[in-house]
A and B are shown apart, each in its own frame.
Chain A
């Protein structure tokens, strides 16, 4: 069997002990093909975020294996998983999580700095990315001066700094109005079509379905349904 690009095998995660124990994921196996956009749906508490955290090397399963770019990462040390995140994975959050004291440009430039501290021309690269997302006149604004849609575009630019092959987004449009949300859907879709990135989006938003290659529905820590190409 060829090594998985991105996926989990027989992974279980639980939180807490004894009576309070919550089984967030139960023996889940999933693969995410390179260059696809997968949508993770399911009711609140079904384990979507837990799954995304595992794929993002932010959480190790109690048992099972996590693959990132063909490498089993669940046995790596914290430092080892940090390096995987630095080189290969980026995140987009519902709450944007921009650095409040930095301008849009500096937020993205910091994304470059984290991925490659020695890289020169970080500001130019950051500017290019922001121009692509229609933020030419917002470069020097700070997060609190931006609209939610603009913040999310800056956050995506920061996530794309350094060109990571994998992008994981948790409810990226939940804080946005319809117009801004659709814009984000298109931007992430373009990352798959134009750049060949692998994108996993967690969302309740049914609008995502037509942008996704596949929709996975979780329920009670298990895969309930998979629709679309694998």
Chain B
């Protein structure tokens, strides 16, 4: 397939446009893919961080960020259902935060009982908590600027209550645009000025000898006025809300699809122009006895060689870009397999883009070699 390679080298100007088109498509597909993946992850991050089996929410709650209070009897009734071994409360509310120097800022305050799970960021549960009062308040590193404390612990105010920021944590950045603060449930309801018996979410753990779905059915019957979801169901619901119902996922995907389409058009135009420029040579090849497969392979190889080079360049550009973007979009996340996996649609794009060119090369009449 030296001919394919040499044709590329001889038409460098045009094929660098092809390569650029592929790079552009790969860049956008990987970048948007990372946005989507990070967005999905962030949309259910706190739900996934809990160790519970079942979440009880107020009827119709779509996402973790939009809970409302449950009556306290819900927790008592849930605790009485056979198989339920543990109940914990989680609440979330927006609050006014005052930095040590007196600047005000809206924050999302999350409080949780110690039983929610070891990965859930609450002071007396966090594995790395060390010496920390249970009423300590934690914030994510990505919100450092807005939290604006110089040293820890720092005395701040939350809804006019004194609070102590004690720890910076990692990996709990969110996309709401307001910083998250994490503390114990008891402490959070104090800041929220709501009764301690209320909760927004009741998290249940189910004894291993019981089937989770059986317990879930049972709970649904006894608590018909609330939603009873397994952890996976609530995580899924939350992700679907943020990606589908808000249209954010569609917007992200649209950009990726656009990248694919623009790449497709650029690649097909340039490959086609080169094929037509060399159409007499394809006729010569066929006159000399080259099979259809031989001819098709040359055109396709040109597209795939450009596809491979373009993919590598696109990946070389997108990986540092994603790392840079992390400072602006903390939740962006490229799964390890994503960059490699995007080579597949990029090569598929190149193959698709060369269909018309392959057809032209295949249908050229070898008989024309004596004319022209």
Could you list which residues of chain A lie within 8 angstroms of chain B, going by C-beta atoms? 49, 52-53, 56, 58-59, 79, 82-83, 85-87, 89-91, 93, 95, 97, 99-102, 106, 109-111, 114-115, 117, 158-159, 170
Q: CB distance A114 to B3 under 8 Å? A: no
| CA–CA, A145 and B36, complex, Å | 54
- Asked if B285 is at the interface (CB within 8 A of a chain A CB), the reply is yes
| CA–CA, A102 and B291, complex, Å | 20
Name B294's closest neighbour in chain A (CB-CB): A114
A49-B370, A93-B370 in contact; A85/B289 too (CB < 8 A)?
yes
- Asked if B153 is at the interface (CB within 8 A of a chain A CB), the reply is no
A82-B289, A114-B294 in contact; A58/B367 too (CB < 8 A)?
yes
Instruction: With both chains docked as a complex, state the minimum distance between the C-beta of A93 and any C-beta of chain B, in angstroms.
Output: 6
Q: CB distance A102 to B370 under 8 Å? A: no
- Asked if B288 is at the interface (CB within 8 A of a chain A CB), the reply is yes
- Asked if B72 is at the interface (CB within 8 A of a chain A CB), the reply is no
Contact of B285 among A53, A93, A109, A114 (CB under 8 A): A114
B290 to chain A: which residues have CB within 8 Å? 82, 86, 114
Instruction: With both chains docked as a complex, state the minimum distance between the C-beta of A117 and any C-beta of chain B, in angstroms.
Output: 7
Additional A-B contacts beyond A56-B287, A91-B369 (17; CB < 8 A): A58-B369, A82-B366, A83-B289, A85-B289, A85-B366, A89-B289, A97-B281, A97-B284, A97-B369, A101-B6, A102-B2, A102-B3, A102-B6, A106-B3, A106-B6, A110-B3, A158-B288
Q: CB distance B287 to A58 under 8 Å? A: yes
Name B278's closest neighbour in chain A (CB-CB): A100
Name A48's closest neighbour in chain B (CB-CB): B370
Could you list which residues of chain B lie within 8 angstroms of chain A, going by C-beta atoms? 2-3, 6-7, 9-11, 278, 280-281, 284-292, 294, 366-367, 369-372
Instruction: With both chains docked as a complex, state the minimum distance between the C-beta of A113 and any C-beta of chain B, in angstroms.
Output: 8
Q: CB distance B284 to A90 under 8 Å? A: no
| CA–CA, A111 and B369, complex, Å | 16
State the 3 A-B residue pairs at the shortest beta-carbon distance, nearest first.
Answer: A86-B289, A101-B6, A101-B10
Instruction: With both chains docked as a complex, state the minimum distance between the C-beta of A219 and any C-beta of chain B, in angstroms.
Output: 19
Instruction: With both chains docked as a complex, state the minimum distance between the C-beta of B284 and any C-beta of chain A, in angstroms.
Output: 5
Q: CB distance B3 to A99 under 8 Å? A: yes
Instruction: With both chains docked as a complex, state the minimum distance between the C-beta of B151 and any C-beta of chain A, in angstroms.
Output: 67
Q: CB distance B10 to A53 under 8 Å? A: no
Name A102's closest neighbour in chain B (CB-CB): B6
- 9 A–B contacts from the bound complex (CB under 8 Å): A53-B367, A85-B288, A86-B288, A86-B291, A89-B289, A90-B288, A93-B369, A106-B2, A111-B288
Q: CB distance B292 to A53 under 8 Å? A: no
A90 to chain B: which residues have CB within 8 Å? 288
| CA–CA, A30 and B10, complex, Å | 44
| CA–CA, A159 and B292, complex, Å | 19
Instruction: With both chains docked as a complex, state the minimum distance between the C-beta of B362 and any C-beta of chain A, in angstroms.
Output: 11
Contact of A99 among B11, B281, B366, B370 (CB under 8 A): B281
Q: CB distance B370 to A52 under 8 Å? A: yes
B370 to chain A: which residues have CB within 8 Å? 49, 52-53, 58, 93, 170
B289 to chain A: which residues have CB within 8 Å? 82-83, 85-87, 89, 114-115
Q: CB distance B281 to A79 under 8 Å? A: no
